[in-house]
A and B are shown apart, each in its own frame.
Chain A
């Protein structure tokens, strides 16, 4: 009897699951459509909030890239903000350095005196973003070599240390304006034009990140980093190239974070190390909180978490003005202490079948079948 049901099961399985894992499901298309719609209509319907919505997309990117390491691979970094700042500085220095002397441009006595032509500006931004992405990824490879022998809390503290050190070191580096920072080349056009330009880039970067990760998790890579999360020693014992996967995962995070840093630097127009480029205690911790709020280790969790968190954040600004940072900290604590699995994680526990997760059938036949 057992073998008959198994035969049947097999047939069903082979017809229902024709190819390797599917990248997109119906739910994904729905969600994706909604986000696309909001992304395009957002700046049209709320033109005054273009900047805010652009930052929202960067937040989505933050949460997703943090989740590659923290959620999917089990390496909880507190210092991913480092790549944001690194990307910002690399992009800015490239934009300036292509056409004039960086040291002179950033000198605190008279910063930002060079006039960029529109062509120079756009070439600078394009090349700068490419360099920011690649440079950040390379930095991740180098740093990974230093910190990947650390696990759990040591990894978290070590990466936090890297981000803190970066802020301080840049703050002492005259050539990039040291602690007082420097202005970014000015956008050659109207303020509205600038917001739309960067809005499009931010939105594009978030979407590109999402699609890339969605694809990535459908390849062997996704399973391998999940294996490292569940039991790294076992993964090693099975011969998985753990170091290679860890390095690649961090480089991918850093690649997109580098782009986001380059974009954000240009959007704010002025960069300096502690508040803008390496804000460990704000953006740095937000990325973690957002991924946790939405549900770490899931594809939609970080996206939803980022959107919800951003709304909460804006709400605290409106309702707790003056106390907004305290309120935000309290929200983060409540999230971590009481609602750890996050929205999508909670849904997965309640309605596993929505996510294609099977649970033990409680029918009496199930036990026998196993034997």
Chain B
């Protein structure tokens, strides 16, 4: 461990490598976290199958790639498919837990997470998969070392930016987006104003699933997917939203990029098998930090 730390000091280019990788992956985390912030803020549902939605999106890409089509083409399919899946999930299940206490939604979505994990496991097997984008990896020299960047990571970053902008524009400009924001402010008032909040909830949940799916497609190309990897993605989203608060897009992006970088460093310093621990460690750190913060006001974190 100390050796690795030392390595970072004597070979500064490694820092650049870790930073870059962290930012690339963090941008994707931001997408899923934004989706969570959306359902949390609008309908007060703590969606614990966030990561499973991501992984499902990833399997779209892998499956299409497996058929010999470029996995990038899975993007629209995954978005539409998962939007429909999210809508159906809302109608069948989430609609019945929205009004109940928060633990119910948490637990119900955890149950759904298990179903999805096991379903994916049955359908695709437990192997770790990558959707091969076929793009080359480039390297360039900087700070006395060679830094490698897979082109797909760069494209994925651009797509993230594009998707984020599109979602934000949708929220600002479209009627549905405005209705969603009004509902997030105050459900009762929105109802009084004639907004069909049921529709808004369903749309929000479906939109979240679609955003996650897009994130998943990218993850499957620049990283790996596996039926049981979803929970870590869920935890990541929770870390980010807890750190940033759910009304705060800039905060979500910063926290996501920060988490991406922290994970890369954690994996490098403590060893690759500790990367998951880093995520959960970050979760506990954020929760402790929030408690310290709130205890200044003599309040609990709720």
Given the interface pairs A157-B238, A336-B107, the reply to whether A172 lies near B119 with Cβ below 8 Å is no
Q: What's the least CB distance linking B221 to chain A, in Å?
A: 26
Q: In whole angstroms, how far apart are the Cα atoms of A158 and B242 in the complex? A: 11
Q: Which residues of B contact A (CB under 8 A)?
A: 46, 93, 96-97, 100-104, 106-108, 110-115, 117-119, 121-122, 228, 231, 235, 238, 242, 271, 273-274, 276-277, 280-281, 283-284, 287-288, 290-291, 294-295, 300-302
A168–B276 touching, CB < 8 Å = yes
10 smallest CB-CB distances across A and B, nearest first, come from A329-B115, A151-B302, A149-B291, A325-B118, A329-B114, A333-B111, A165-B280, A332-B111, A161-B283, A76-B103
A326–B115 touching, CB < 8 Å = yes
Q: What's the least CB distance linking B216 to chain A, in Å?
A: 19
Q: What's the least CB distance linking A368 to chain B, in Å?
A: 36
CB neighbours (8 Å) of A114 from chain B are: none
CB neighbours (8 Å) of A40 from chain B are: none
CB neighbours (8 Å) of B112 from chain A are: 329, 333
Size of A's binding interface in residues, CB under 8 A: 43
- 16 other A-B residue contacts (CB within 8 Å) besides A153-B106, A161-B280, A330-B115: A76-B103, A149-B291, A149-B294, A149-B301, A150-B301, A151-B300, A152-B103, A154-B290, A157-B238, A165-B281, A172-B271, A172-B277, A179-B273, A281-B114, A325-B118, A326-B118
Closest to A162 in B: B284
B104–A340 touching, CB < 8 Å = yes
Closest to B275 in A: A168
B287–A168 touching, CB < 8 Å = no
Q: Output the residue of A162, A179, A325 with the most chain B CB within 10 A.
A: A325
CB neighbours (8 Å) of A326 from chain B are: 115, 118-119, 122
What DSSP secondary structure best describes chain B's contact surface?
A: helix
CB neighbours (8 Å) of A322 from chain B are: 122
A146–B108 touching, CB < 8 Å = no
B100–A340 touching, CB < 8 Å = yes
Among B102, B104, B283, B288, contact of A336 (Cβ-Cβ < 8 Å): B104
Contact mask for chain A residues 129-164; partner B; CB cutoff 8 A; 1 contact, 0 none: 000000000000000001101111110111011101
CB neighbours (8 Å) of A153 from chain B are: 46, 102-103, 106
Q: In whole angstroms, how far apart are the Cα atoms of A168 and B274 in the complex? A: 7
CB neighbours (8 Å) of B302 from chain A are: 150-152, 154
Within 8 Å of chain B (Cβ to Cβ): is A46?
no
CB neighbours (8 Å) of A330 from chain B are: 111, 115
Q: In whole angstroms, how far apart are the Cα atoms of A179 and B110 in the complex? A: 25
Q: In whole angstroms, how far apart are the Cα atoms of A154 and B301 in the complex? A: 7
Among A161, A288, A336, A338, contact of B235 (Cβ-Cβ < 8 Å): A161
CB neighbours (8 Å) of A340 from chain B are: 100, 104
